[in-house]
Amino acid sequence: MPKKIKKIFEYAGFSFFITLLMGGILAEIGIIKNTPSWAPNLFMIVGSLLVLMFSKGKLLCFLICIGIIGFFYEVLGVKIGILFGSYNYSDVFNLKLFSVPIVMISAWIIIVNFSFSFIQNIRNKFFIIYGSIIMVIIDLVIDPIAVHGLEIWIWNEEGPYYSIPNHNFLGWFILSIPIFILLNFSKQTVETPSRIISILVISFFSIIGFINEIYFPAALGIVLVLLNCLLFFKQRKRKSNAL
């Protein structure tokens, strides 16, 4: 594909993504009424496609594999309830397979891409542990907002953190380990546009959290976003100084 046409596709995709993001925020505030049922699905799908579009080599293949692995984690979680706890998805994401929204593939791609961007330049024996811890922290942000703000799924059992069972977070940590073992084989790093998309998705959840007065997870999400941005600028400065 000629570079000019590719650039047009990239700008068009990014603009459409921003439109969906802003539409979701305006709908949550109540300015936009009767949001079409396909909009939440499309927001996550477009976001993940943009992440994949700007990913290269093994990282691209690994992110696709991780999206599929994450989806089957969710299937096992819903059907058996031993991975995260007992929960069921609502109809917010209404395209489902095995009682799990297909768009969860997109969600896993975006979340893992965001986590990986934190530690992509750290390749030591703690890489896998760092990645898994970041995944748990992201879940501390997303889960309460997804349940109490966006009502994407419903827990059948309760715990102390926004009614989320504790073993959900243990499950996230354990199941993130094979994902970061896989990513450790990737020599590619997260490209800037892909990183921006992931940051915007986490920012979206934080904004929804503030709108719905779910303050701690929303604030934690903003801290993650700011730290990611700070790390990004530090890495760029380091590269510039090395040239």
Q: What is the 3-state composition of the chain as percent helix, strand, coil, each rounded to the nearest 5? A: 70, 5, 25
pLDDT tier for residue 62 given thresholds of 50, 70 and 90: very high
What pLDDT was estimated at residue 242? 66
Contacts for 122 with CB less than 8 Å, ≥ 6 apart: 130
pLDDT tier for residue 19 given thresholds of 50, 70 and 90: very high
pLDDT tier for residue 181 given thresholds of 50, 70 and 90: very high
Smallest Cα–Cα separation from 128: which of 61, 173, 97, 87? 173
Can you spell out the DSSP letters for 67-96?
A: HHHHHHHHHHHHHH--SS-SEEE-SSS--E
pLDDT at 41 over 70: yes
pLDDT at 63 over 80: yes
Considering the entire predicted model, what is its pTM? 0.93
pLDDT at 54 over 80: yes
For the stretch 77-89, what's the b/e string if a residue is b when 16 or more beta carbons lie within 10 angstroms of its beta carbon? bbeeeebbbebeb
Name the more confident of 97 and 123: 97
At residue 188, the 3 state secondary structure works out as: coil
